[in-house]
Structure 1
Amino acid sequence: MTPGTTTPLIKQGWLRAVLLFVAFISAGVLAGMAGGLFSLTLAGGTAFSQTLLNSITLALFIFELVGIVLVILFRRYIDRRPVKSLGFQWQTFQPDALTGFCLGMALLGAGSLVLLASHNLEWTDARFAPADLFMGLVLMVVIAFTEEMVFRGYILNNLMESMNKWVALAISAGLFTFAHGSNPGISFIAVINLLLAGLLLGINFIYTRNIWFAICFHFSWNFLQGPVLGYEVSGLPLQSVLQPSLHGPWWITGGSFGLEGSFVATGLLLFALLLLYAAYEKRYVKPVTAS
């Protein structure tokens, strides 16, 4: 706790993190139930699948907004600290934000090139619908902000007040994985990749206590993956510019979970994680010199 700050309503950082996680998951369950009930009221027909997708997207959008509200309320009234202390300082962290944004695009681009080169992917059509692309953009921005505020800005931040940063990172990544565990098309490879993604999204934070790298990486990964390239985003189908056709075993293509469910993504995420670890250890950890 920095000098001059008010004592939190709940002293233990780990307990504050757990309570926020429970509240966030509960909101997700309620949003899922609401989306399911709404879909049951829809009439069948040719427009059913599109209407169903719209209802799921709307339920997800509302849930993500509720998540932002929860974090703000917890930070202000449980932690008794300003929202900016979640890691929103922008000045001097623009390079981190740019690194995150470019890294997301680079990994998705590399994964797509691997699938193309192995003849497991081809794009059969391209349809540019500005309204769909804009809605995808807005949804991916909201998802990136919400999940990074929840899992890195709040949960990882508070866990680091109670334990070693690496233990905190591992637990936050585990909770991030658990939160996505009921997504459509989930597999054991997808679980591994979600855990790696949680570690990758949090590794910058444990060195900088800043959230912009994670937000920009999360956004560029999801936006390029879904609304642009046409993969499912953690099992969620979206309207996209490119229409992909995937061939081959699911453990290479990711199956219905999207590229995130493939061993291709496993290799890319692990490589990026090790690369960032080496870079941050060199940049932020000062070597001990002999006196």
Structure 2
Amino acid sequence: MLKALGKVAFAAVVFLALNVIVSIPLGIVGGIIAAMQSAGPLTAESITELMMSHPLLKTAAFSLSAAAGVGTAALLYHTMEKDRSWSLGWKQERWFPKLVAGLVWGAALITLCYLIVLSLGGIRVAGTGEGGALALLLALDVIVFAAVAIGEETFSRGYVYGVVKRQGGIAAAVAVSSLLFALLHANNAAVFETPFPMLNLTLAGVMLALFREWSGGLWLPIGVHLTWNYFQGDVLGMAVSGVRTPSLLEVDILDPFLAGGDFGLEGSFVTTLVMLAVSAWLWLRIRRRSRLQNG
């Protein structure tokens, strides 16, 4: 197990290093654009803000980060795992129905959280998004959140989960991959606003890892991850892990504690309860299947 944890730590370092490397050219472009648009001094924060507000730069940034996640997983799997008795999770029979099922799960679960918060008075719908460019922005965000889902799932639920499960079993794989998943979001805006964002990021990791175990691969959790983020931000008008996006709906926050504050629904205890319930259900299904297989 210690060997597996060492591999996970090394994988995290490689992933972060690759993220830095691939972001340098884009950061230079962002810096040039920021210098042309602003008379004030350039800072890392101002360049980051520009990149997150510029649709093409944001799409490129998240796509490159996803490439770093996939690249790290593929590189370490093919160089460090000489006995490849386990799979990263990409090769699955009936992968497309699993992806579609994941897309439905993700949209349904985050919409359920939203409707509960809405019914409890935590938010109100203030209107709908406007502007001729809205359709283009929403389309670009499909690419953004697809990249996020593919990159993070391949790294966290593909390589990290597989390495730990091989030596430590399912429970250890779920715990380690989920904690690392949460830590990789520690730089997000408002993540330490209350205890709930980090708690819910960890629980999201648990839920996605159990979806991976239940489905036997990555396609279902990729689908869940994609529509969970996309519906939360671009459809329902909430922040996605502290990141604001263009949206079909505009929302007023009436109760920051109930609605998750600036972090979005992933900062709400309502989401905590929903993810706990889904994770418990998945765990019971996995245990039941294991008992039936072992006879």
User: Structures share a fold, TM > 0.5?
Assistant: yes
Match of 2:267 in 1: 261
User: Which stretch shifts more, 19-28 or 194-203?
Assistant: 19-28
Q: What is the percentage of aligned positions where both structures have the same residue? A: 24
| Distance in structure 1 (CA, Å) of the matches to 2:90 and 2:163 | 15
Larger fraction in helix: 2
The SS at the match of 2:167 is coil
CA distance in 2, matches of 1:206, 1:254: 29
- Residue in structure 1 matching 2:231, options 215, 219, 224: 224
**1:84-122: CA deviation from partner (whole Å, max 9, x where unpaired):** 931123324555444432221122111111122122222
CA separation of 1:288/1:267 partners in 2, compared to 1, >3 Å: closer, same or farther?
same
Q: Structure 2: which amino acid aligns with 1:123?
A: V
The alpha-carbon deviation at position 125 of structure 1 amounts to 2.5
**Partner amino acid for 1:247?**
L
Change (3 A) 1:208 1:16: farther
Which moved further from structure 2: 194-203 or 162-171? 162-171
Question: What letter is aligned with 1:210?
Answer: G
Partners of 1:35 and 1:56 within 8 A in 2? no
Query: How far does residue 183 in structure 1 lie from its aligned partner after superposition?
Result: 0.4
Question: Following the alignment from structure 2 to structure 1, what is the Cα–Cα distance between the partners of residues 268 and 23?
Answer: 26
State the partner residue of 1:270. Answer: 276
Q: Which moved more, 1:238-247 or 1:214-223?
A: 238-247
63-72 or 141-150, which moves further after superposition?
Answer: 63-72
CA distance in 1, matches of 2:285, 2:36: 52
Q: How many angstroms apart in 2 are the aligned matches of 1:224 and 1:198?
A: 18
For the pair 1:147 / 2:152, whether they are aligned, the reply is: yes
**What CA distance in whole angstroms lies between the structure 2 residues aligned with 1:210 and 1:51?**
33
Please give the secondary structure, in 1, of the residue aligned with 2:166: coil
- Provide the C-alpha distance between the structure 1 equivalents of 2:273 and 2:263, rounded to a whole number of angstroms: 17
Q: What residue number does 2:242 align with? A: 235
Residues 108-158 of structure 1: per-residue CA shift (max 9 Å, x gap): 111111122122222222236221111000111111010000001111101
Cα distance in 2 for partners of 1:66, 1:94 equals: 24
Q: Which runs of 5+ in 1 are unaligned?
A: 1-10
Aligned to 1:126: 128
1:137 corresponds in structure 2 to 142
- Supply the distance in 1 between the matched residues of 2:160 and 2:182 (Cα, whole angstroms): 13
Q: Which runs of 5+ in 2 are unaligned?
A: 40-46
Taking a change above 3 Å as real, the CA distance of residues 234 and 34 of structure 1, as seen in their structure-2 partners, is farther
1:52-91 to 2 correspondences below 5 Å: 53-54=53-54, 55-79=57-81, 85-91=87-93
Summarize deviations over 1:9-56 as a string: whole Å, max 9, x none. xx94443332222111233456677777735535249xx976652245
May I ask how many residue pairs the two structures share in their alignment?
275
What RMSD over aligned residues (CA atoms) do the two structures have, in Å? 2.9
TM-score by length of 1: 0.83
Q: Which residue of 1 aligns with 2:161?
A: 156
Equivalent position amino acid for 2:184 in 1: A
